[in-house]
């Protein structure tokens, strides 16, 4: 395979999923958002159930530490972590949603939101204060009980 045949290939399954999500959104627009959100929510629930039974407890601190092992430390940093709040910032979207739309980000973030609702508590709230999908320089997300 030559170099030009390797252009735009995903580096991992999450990037590949992102390509599919973006293509679906571009083709169907806002009408696709409920479908994307529901599929992502199911993925988050499945992941949350897996981690819930592997960890010694379901405290936000414990689950957040396990969650943080899944992201690339070069692009994501933990701002604060307690049993009531998990605040992270990232400069690169693992799904490649940069400069797409906030609403697409919110639909895809249903993966992480449902992960925490399932693994920790259904009282977890997600606040996205900034997102690279909307053109911000970083994503700023807070999970709070």
DSSP three-state, residue 98: coil
Mean pLDDT of 4-9: 71
For residue 1, what pLDDT is reported? Answer: 43
Tens digits of residue pLDDT in 120-131: 999 999 999 999
Fold classification of 13-144 (topology level): Muramoyl-pentapeptide Carboxypeptidase; domain 2 (3.30.1380)
Query: What confidence score (pLDDT) does residue 4 get?
Result: 56
CB 110 within 8 A of CB 41: yes
Token pair belonging to 91: 């400069």
Q: How much of the chain, in percent, has pLDDT values that exceed 70? A: 96
Please count the other Cβ atoms lying within 10 Å of the Cβ belonging to residue 143.
24
Residue 7 has pLDDT above 80, yes or no: no
Query: Which percentage of the chain shows pLDDT scores above 90?
Result: 90
For residues 108 and 47, the answer to whether their CB atoms sit within 8 Å is no
Q: What is the pLDDT of residue 123?
A: 97
Distances (CA, A) of 121 to 31, 60, 71, 113: 30, 8, 22, 10
State the pTM of this model: 0.91
**Average per-residue pLDDT for the chain:** 94
pLDDT value for 57: 96
The Cα–Cα gap between 4 and 91 comes to 27
pLDDT in tens, 68-116: 998 888 999 999 999 999 999 999 999 999 999 999 999 999 999 999 9
Residue 45: strand pairing partners? none
Categorize the per-residue pLDDT at 3 as very low, low, confident or very high, splitting at 50, 70 and 90: low
């Amino acid at each position: 395979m030559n170099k030009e045949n390797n252009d735009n290939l995903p580096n991992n399954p999450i990037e590949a999923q992102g390509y599919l999500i973006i293509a679906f959104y571009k083709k169907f627009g806002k009408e696709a958002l409920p479908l994307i959100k529901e599929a992502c929510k199911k993925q988050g629930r499945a992941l949350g159930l897996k981690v819930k039974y592997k960890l010694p407890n379901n405290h936000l601190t414990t689950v957040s530490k396990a969650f943080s092992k899944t992201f690339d430390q070069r692009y994501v940093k933990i701002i604060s972590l307690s049993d009531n709040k998990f605040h992270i910032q990232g400069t690169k979207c693992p799904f490649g949603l940069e400069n797409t739309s906030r609403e697409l980000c919110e639909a895809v973030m249903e993966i992480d939101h449902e992960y925490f609702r399932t693994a920790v508590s259904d009282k977890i709230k997600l606040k996205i204060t900034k997102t690279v999908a909307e053109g911000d320089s970083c994503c700023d997300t807070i999970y709070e009980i």
